[in-house]
C-alpha cells in the first residue's frame, strides 16, 4: 500500500517551523532584505527549536527526526525567505549529514555534536572563482608537511562563509592525479575558524538572498592536522558529490516552499485586485498562471518527499534528488516570474513579496549543481551511462539506531 499521509511528527515539525518563521521572521524580512543584513540572533532561535540538528540522531546531539521532516522544515523556511532555508541547506544538508556519513567517531564528537546542538555553525566550501560545475577544476592544494597538511587556495560563493565556525572543504593532495584530472587526487578536510592562514569575507551586491551571508574563504598555508581529513585521502570528490545529494534535497524542498509562497501571494492579490469591473482572478489568463503554480507545487512536493522517503529507507537517491531539484527550481523560477505578472506594476516593487521571490529564486537554479547538471544526471541514468555503485559510507536509515 502506498501511503501519502504525513505522520504526526511531520505535521508537528511543519507547524512549528511555519509558526516560528511566520511570526518571528516574516514581519522583519523586508527590513532585513533591504539592509542586506544577516541577523545572527536568528541562528540561536533556530538552535533552540532544534532545527540545526533536525535529522541528526539524538546520540550526536540532534533532534532525531527523519529526512522528510528536514524537507518539510526547508519548505516552510523558504516560504518566508530563501536565506532561512539556506542555513539548513549548508549547516545540516551539506555539512552535518556528510559528517554523519563520512566522519570518524572522534570527528563526530568534536564537530558534529556541537553543530547538531546549534552551538557551532557549519558550512561547505567546494566552489572556487574558476571552478563551479566542473568540480575537478578546483585549484586549491594541500601538501603533506609532517603530520599536517598545508592548505592553499580560495573558495568563492560560499553560504555562511563569514559567520560559520566549521568548514568542510576540498583540495588536491596528489599533483600527478591533478595533472591527469583524476578526481582520486582530491581530499576533503575539516577546518575551524581561527586556524592561522584562514580568512573569510562577505560578498556584497547580490541580486537576491540579501538577508543571508554569502562570502569567500582564503587559505594561506593553513596548517590542517591529518586527523582533520574527512574520509580517506583521495575520497574528497566522492564526499563532495555525496554532500551535494543532501544539499540538493534541501534545495528542492525549499524551492517547493517558494512556489507555494508565489501561489498564495498571487491568489490573495488576484482576489483583491479588480480590473474591468471584476477581480482579476476571474480573468482566464490570470487563472492559467495560478493553475500552473498550483500544479507545479503539488508535483514538486511529491518529488522531494519521495526522495526523503528513500533516504529514510537507506536507499540511494541521487537520481531522484537530482530530478526533484531540477523540477522544483524550474517551477520556482516560473512561479516567481508569473507572480510578478499577476501583480502587474506592483510586482516590480518590494511593496509586495513577489519581487523578492523573483530575485531569490534564480540562485537555486545554479547552486548545488546547475539545471544543466541535473539534466545530465537524469539523462545519464536514463541512457544507462550512469549506474549507482556501492559506497563506502552512507546515511543511516530511519529510525536511527543507538
- The catalytic site residues sit at 368
Cα–Cα–Cα angle for 268, 21, 164, rounded to 5 degrees: 135
Q: b/e per residue, 28-48, with b = 16+ CB within 10 A?
A: ebbebbeeeebeeebbeebbe
List own/partner pairs for 370-373 with CB under 8 A and 24 or more apart. Answer: 370/132, 370/133, 371/326, 371/329, 371/330, 372/133, 373/133, 373/322
Q: What is the DSSP string of 211-236?
A: TS-EEEEEEEEEEEEGGGEESSTT-H
Residue 87 grid cell: 542555513
CB 68 within 8 A of CB 10: yes
Helix residue ranges per DSSP H, 167-213: 175-179
CA dist 250 and 90 (Å) reads 9
Contacts of 185 (CB under 8 A, 6+ apart): 172, 173, 174, 175, 176, 177, 178, 234
Rg, C-alpha atoms of the chain: 21
In terms of residues, how long is the chain?
402
Nearest to 300 by CA among 270, 267, 333: 333
Residue 56 grid cell: 541528526
Contacts of 352 (CB under 8 A, 6+ apart): 265, 269, 343, 346
Amino acid at each position: 500500500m502506498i501511503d501519502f499521509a504525513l505522520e504526526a511528527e511531520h505535521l508537528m515539525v511543519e507547524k512549528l517551523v511555519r509558526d516560528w518563521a511566520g511570526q518571528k521572521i516574516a514581519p522583519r524580512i523586508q527590513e532585513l532584505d533591504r539592509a542586506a543584513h544577516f541577523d545572527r540572533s536568528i541562528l540561536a532561535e533556530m538552535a533552540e527549536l532544534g532545527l540545526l540538528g533536525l535529522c541528526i540522531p539524538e546520540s550526536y546531539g540532534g533532534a532525531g527526526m527523519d529526512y522528510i521532516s528536514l524537507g518539510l522544515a526547508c519548505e516552510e523556511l523558504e516560504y518566508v525567505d530563501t536565506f532561512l532555508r539556506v542555513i539548513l541547506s549548508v549547516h545540516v544538508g551539506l555539512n552535518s549529514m556528510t559528517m554523519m556519513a563520512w566522519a570518524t567517531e572522534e570527528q563526530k564528537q568534536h564537530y558534529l555534536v556541537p553543530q547538531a546542538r546549534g552551538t557551532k555553525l557549519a558550512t561547505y566550501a567546494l566552489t572556487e572563482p574558476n571552478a563551479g560545475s566542473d568540480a575537478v577544476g578546483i585549484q586549491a592544494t594541500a601538501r603533506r608537511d609532517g603530520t599536517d597538511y598545508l592548505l592553499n587556495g580560495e573558495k568563492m560563493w560560499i553560504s555562511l562563509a563569514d559567520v560559520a565556525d566549521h568548514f568542510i572543504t576540498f583540495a588536491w593532495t596528489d599533483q600527478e592525479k591533478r595533472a591527469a584530472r583524476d578526481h582520486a587526487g582530491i581530499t576533503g578536510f575539516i577546518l575551524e575558524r581561527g586556524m592561522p592562514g584562514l580568512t573569510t569575507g562577505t560578498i556584497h551586491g547580490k541580486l537576491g538572498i540579501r538577508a543571508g551571508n554569502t562570502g569567500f574563504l582564503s587559505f594561506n598555508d593553513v596548517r590542517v592536522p591529518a586527523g582533520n581529513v574527512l574520509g580517506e585521502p583521495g575520497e574528497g570528490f566522492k564526499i563532495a558529490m555525496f554532500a551535494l545529494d543532501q544539499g540538493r534535497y534541501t534545495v528542492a524542498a525549499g524551492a517547493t516552499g517558494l512556489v507555494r509562497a508565489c501561489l498564495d501571494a498571487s491568489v490573495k492579490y488576484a482576489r483583491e485586485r479588480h480590473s474591468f469591473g471584476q477581480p482579476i482572478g476571474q480573468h482566464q489568463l490570470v487563472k492559467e498562471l495560478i493553475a500552473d503554480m498550483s500544479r507545479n507545487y503539488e508535483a514538486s512536493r511529491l518529488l522531494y518527499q519521495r526522495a526523503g522517503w528513500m533516504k529514510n529507507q537507506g536507499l540511494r537517491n541521487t537520481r531522484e534528488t537530482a530530478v526533484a531539484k531540477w523540477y522544483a527550481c524550474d517551477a520556482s523560477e516560473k512561479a516567481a516570474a508569473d507572480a510578478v505578472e499577476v501583480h502587474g506594476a506592483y510586482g516590480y516593487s518590494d511593496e509586495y513579496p513577489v519581487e523578492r521571490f523573483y530575485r531569490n529564486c534564480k540562485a537555486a537554479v545554479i547552486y548545488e549543481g546547475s539545471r544543466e547538471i541535473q539534466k545530465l544526471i537524469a539523462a545519464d541514468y536514463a541512457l544507462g551511462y550512469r549506474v549507482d555503485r556501492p559506497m563506502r559510507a552512507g546515511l543511516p536509515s530511519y529510525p536511527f539506531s543507538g
